[in-house]
């Protein structure tokens, strides 16, 4: 083949109309992502973009809105136990899932009902 996939540029999640402040409260306030500026031509569409490390999560407005219940991004973290404690302090519920061999993982839902997997691989 003459082409190569190199990386994931961003993940997009959908949210209902006029939910940007709620997205900021969760993705910035709870998860600690940094908000990044949307290009001027895309601002009029609504939504908000975030980054952590070299990754981006775009929250796009969808009308009518329906949350992703099964499809989801998976974020790898260091020190999942500390994150779980932080989520408890922020009163953000999560579900522990022990079904993936070699990993500790949880599922958390954003304020709009989109499911996100967060995992830490165990070093054996």
Kindly state the helix (H) or strand (E) to which residue 87 belongs, with its residue range: helix 80-89
Q: Which domain holds residue 95?
A: 11-121
The per-residue pLDDT for 124 is 57
Any domain includes 82: yes
For the chain, what is the domain count?
1
Question: Is the whole model's pTM more than 0.85, yes or no?
Answer: yes
How far from the centroid of its chain's Cα atoms is residue 2's Cα?
32
The per-residue pLDDT for 18 is 97
CA dihedral 21, 28, 9, 94 (to 10 degrees): -100
- Those residues of the chain that have pLDDT short of 70 are 124
Any domain includes 5: no
Are the C-beta atoms of residues 38 and 82 closer than 8 Å to each other? Answer: no
Any domain includes 3: no
Any domain includes 42: yes
The per-residue pLDDT for 62 is 96
Any domain includes 116: yes
Any domain includes 63: yes
We report the CATH number of the domain holding residue 63 as 3.10.180.10
């Amino acid at each position: 083949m003459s082409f190569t996939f190199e990386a994931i540029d961003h993940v997009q999640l959908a949210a209902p109309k006029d939910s940007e402040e709620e997205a900021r409260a969760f993705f910035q306030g709870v998860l600690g992502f940094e908000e990044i500026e949307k290009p001027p031509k895309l601002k009029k569409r609504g939504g908000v973009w975030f980054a952590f490390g070299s990754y981006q999560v775009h929250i796009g407005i969808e009308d009518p809105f329906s949350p992703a219940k099964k499809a989801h991004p998976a974020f790898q973290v260091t020190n999942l136990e500390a994150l779980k404690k932080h989520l408890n302090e922020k009163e953000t519920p999560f579900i522990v899932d022990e079904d993936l061999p070699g990993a500790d993982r949880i599922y958390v839902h954003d304020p709009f009902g989109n499911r996100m997997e967060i995992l830490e691989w165990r070093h054996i």
